[in-house]
Amino acid sequence: MTIALIRTIILYLLIIFGIKMMGKRQISDLQTSELVITILISNIAAVPMQDSAQPLLSSVIPIISLICYEILVSFFMLKNAKIREIICGKPIVLIKEGKVQQSALKNLRISGEDLFEQLRQADVFSLDDVWFAIMETNGQLSVLKKPEKQPPDATMLKIETNPATIDTVIVSDGVISEHSLKVCNLDKIWLNSIIKDQNIKLEDIFIMTANKDKKFSIIRKEQNK
């Protein structure tokens, strides 16, 4: 059992390292090749974890190879559109200028119900609202509504807007995040002055957020009863 435990830890670390190398992505955003690699790696790793007679190397080498090939292929896909098209395919227009492309639906083996289901997931409940619908290479449907059905934005309404600033967590559970301070162009001197002004100890801060405009908010820790 100890062997199984040690092997599990080694494979876990290897897979975490591999996923980090491949880059962060959500399962729904995975390309076909990435999904295949993920499934393959999980299956390959499972065998030597359970069977101690199986050499660990017989699993480690395929995992490392798969990760390397995935990185190399994604690099070549980035450099060459043709390779990308071969491996990932290309986006297919399902609705063009408001007209459903029946041949494209047939080719992708998507029924009318499937199309409507995906449209509903994209917050579109009437086919009349759609100007373009494109099936992306990762299987998600991108929808462009007709101009008259699109919600107005600030440009359309001719409203002047200020550049948005993002609030970041600069103190979490009493610990200062120096990275977040840097992102907001702030420093510890400013933070200490605020803490002093607010008459609060750093350890008593549950969350403190701030933005580039030096606007901040502090949530104190709840006192234990």
Chain positions contacting other proteins, by CB under 8 A:
21, 52-58, 61, 64-65, 67-69, 71-72, 75
- Measure the CA–CA gap between 57 and 60, rounded to whole angstroms: 5
* Smallest gap from residue 62 Cβ to other proteins (A): 9
Q: How far is the CB of 178 from other proteins (least distance, A)?
A: 24
Q: How far is the CB of 77 from other proteins (least distance, A)?
A: 12
Query: What is the rounded CA–CA span in Å between residue 143 and residue 126?
Result: 12
List the beta bridge partners of residue 96: 99, 132
Q: Rounded distance, CA 181 to CA 194, Å?
A: 13
Residue nearer to other proteins on the CB measure, 46 or 202: 46
Residue 68's Cβ-side half-sphere holds a number of Cα atoms within 13 Å equal to: 6
What would you measure as the largest C-alpha separation in the chain, in angstroms?
71
Which residue lies nearer to other proteins by CB, 66 or 130?
66
Which is closer to other proteins, CB of 21 or CB of 86?
21
Helix axis angle for 2-22 and 57-79, nearest 10°, is 10
Residue 165 corresponds to which tokens in the numbers above? 């600033």
What's the min distance (Å) between Cβ of 56 and other proteins?
A: 8
Q: 107, 92 in Cβ contact below 8 A?
A: yes
Query: Of the two residues 63 and 141, which places its CB atom closer to other proteins in the complex?
Result: 63
| Closest to 70 measured CA to CA, from 62, 82, 81, 58 | 62
Name the phi and psi angles at 158, rounded to 5.
55, 50
Shortest Cβ 18–other proteins spacing (Å): 10
Nearer to other proteins (CB atom), residue 66 or residue 171? 66
Q: Which is nearer to other proteins, 71 or 87 (CB)?
A: 71
